[in-house]
Amino acid sequence: MEASSSKRDSGGFESVDTDFLIRALDGVWDGVYFVDSERTITYWNSGSEKISGFTSEEVVGRACFDDILRHVDGEGRLLCRDGCPLAATILDGQERDIEVFLHHRDGHRVPVSVRAAPIKNEQGDIVGAVESFHDDTARAEAVEKARQLEEVAFLDPLTGVGNRRFAEVSLAERLDEWKRYGWSLALLFIDVDHFKRVNDEYGHALGDQVLTMVARTLQGVARSHDFIGRWGGEEFVMVVTGADQSGLIVVAERVRSLVERSGLRTEQAQIEVTVSIGATIPEPEDTTESLVARADERMCQSKAAGRNRVTV
């Protein structure tokens, strides 16, 4: 990004005082970056660094589809290869808004709202595009929830989600509400596939990072009124409110596909994992224990059927 004058390569803003423009863009919370007509990144602001974890030195000069953000939709479809909003905007000059999940440098998925707009030269020709994006994770709620959990020793110190005690208490409360008021409730039991192999091959320190990556991806999928807990080892539970059986399948498949599309980049390798999921909704006679046992049983069926799948 260094330049000998105040006119830096900013993807089509040749007539603008780009030093001023860059200072202004570096002061905003949203991520902003420019690409040229070949989708090569020419500018990457500090907001992009904060949200994605990638520094400008790591991405400027590379194509946006070159294994960087790896945007996927809610079904895990890789948009950088099929459905890229920047590519479409460069082609037809139309602005676009889309909800996607970007790939954080630490491996987990982050829900973001993306806006793409064309960059035109003085003759009106499209010479690139600008994308802005902001983190849709409910940060303030997450911080407050973490503080409350920590105060009552309900926080799993490794992954940052609730621990088993928190999961048991919260699930009991939600099950009671379901019986009293009929509020929709569903449970996912999630197990990381072949996790022992990860520990054996890469060591427990990287194994811990993989668990944190999975937990953060789950947090990205969850809404503010859902909750996630680490049940033990490589097992997690996720309680989804307001979902019937068809909605449960959608959420469970979204979790599965987004974990599959995550990956932890290390000096040794790109570590990618999948999860097997058991999903269920309560029955009138259910207790917390029977509900978890049934979801666990469905998860084992997913394992037996080949892993990386959902059984409802």
Q: Is 34 exposed, middle or buried (0-12, 13-18, 19+ CB in 10 A)?
A: buried
DSSP 3-state assignment of 116?
A: strand
**CB neighbour burial string for 273-305, b if at least 16 within 10 angstroms, e if fewer:** bbbbbbbbbbeeebebeebbebbbebbeebeee
Cα separation, 123 vs 153, whole angstroms: 62
CA dihedral defined by 195, 196, 198, 200, rounded to 10 degrees?
Answer: 170
Cα separation, 18 vs 7, whole angstroms: 6
Which residue among the candidates 58, 234, 253, 285 is catalytic per the annotation? 234
Cα separation, 113 vs 65, whole angstroms: 18
Cα separation, 199 vs 214, whole angstroms: 15
- Tell me the two tokens of residue 17: 């005082």
CA dihedral defined by 137, 140, 144, 146, rounded to 10 degrees?
Answer: 30
Q: Is 234 a catalytic residue?
A: yes
Q: Which residues are catalytic?
A: 234
